[in-house]
Amino acid sequence: MENTCKDCCYFLAIDVFKGMCKMDKASISHDSLACGHFSKIAKCKFCSKYKQETEFLGICMDQVAAHPDLVAIHCDSFEWIGMN
């Protein structure tokens, strides 16, 4: 699956439809295809401790409910997939 702007650490959401790029302030939508500057933001779906259960639901560390698009930049337990 191709990366979209909502998964990029340079995406600044204005609302649920759209946002802007922190790099160049270009108007983009959450679902725009990512550009060459794309860099993943920490989200549950990129964490090694997250297990997907359904399309939009999952579990964290085998015990706590979580969901794939939850931003985890301030989660102490976050660990990038493939980093451990």
Partner 1 sequence: MNKITETYNIFGKQPDEVISSPEVSKEPTARASGLMALYFEAKSSASVEFPYWYSRRWAELDGEIPIVRRAEALKAGFEHLTPVIFPGELLVMGKANYLRGSYPMPWLSESYFMAAEDVMYQEALQSGKLSADKVTTWGKGGGNVTKSEGNVISIAGKFGIRKEEIPALLRIARYWKDKSVDDVGHKYEMMVPAYEVKEALMRSVICMFDSGYTLPQGREVMNYYYPLQFGIGGMKSYCGEMIREVAGSPDMDRLYYYKASLLTLEGLEQWFLHYEEEARLLATLEKDAKQKEEYLNIADRMNWLSQKPPRDFYDALQLVWSFHVAVLNEDAISGLSPGRLGQVLYPFYKRDMEKGILDRNKAIELLECMRVKFTEIDCFASMGVVGGVLSGNTFNNLCLGGLKKDGSSAANELEMLILETGISCATPQPTLSMLYDEKLPEELLMKGIECTKIGTGYPAWVNNQVAMEFLVDNYGHEGMSMEEARAWAIGGCLETSPGSWMPLTLDGVEYYIPGGSAPATSVGVHFLSLPKLLEVVLFDGMDMRTGQRVFQPHGFDLDSYDELWEAFKDYFAQSVEVLTLCNNIQHDAWRKISPSLVNSMLKPDCLAKGKDIGQKGCRYNTTFNVEICGTTNLVNSLASLKKNVYENTEFSLAEYRDAILANFGYKTAREIGSYSLIDQQPREEYMNFKRIHKLSQEAPKFGNDNPYVDEIFKNWEEWYCDMVHDYRSLYDEPMYACQISVSTHAPMGAVTLATPDGRLSGTTFADGSVSAYPGTDKNGPYALFNSATCWDHSKSQNSQLNMKIHPSAVKGRDGSRKFLELIRAYLRKGGFHVQFNIVDSRMLKKAQADPDQFRGLMVRVAGFTQYWVELGKAIQDEVIARTEYEEV
Instruction: Report how far apart the first and last C-alpha atoms of the chain are (Å, whole number).
Output: 23
Q: How many CB atoms lie within 10 A of CB 44?
A: 21
Q: How many residues does the chain have?
A: 84
How many residues of this chain interact with partner 1, rule: CB under 8 A? 29
Site for partner 1 contains 59 (CB under 8 A): no
Q: What is the CA radius of gyration of the chain?
A: 13
In the list 33, 57, 61, 81, the residue contacting partner 1 (rule: CB under 8 A) is 57
Q: Give the DSSP letter of residue 38.
A: -
Restricting to residues 23-42, which ones interact with partner 1 according to CB under 8 A? 23, 25, 30-31
Rounded to the nearest whole angstrom, what is the least distance from the CB of residue 14 to partner 1 in the complex? 5
Binding site for partner 1 (CB under 8 A): 10, 12-18, 20, 22-23, 25, 30-31, 54-57, 64-71, 73-75
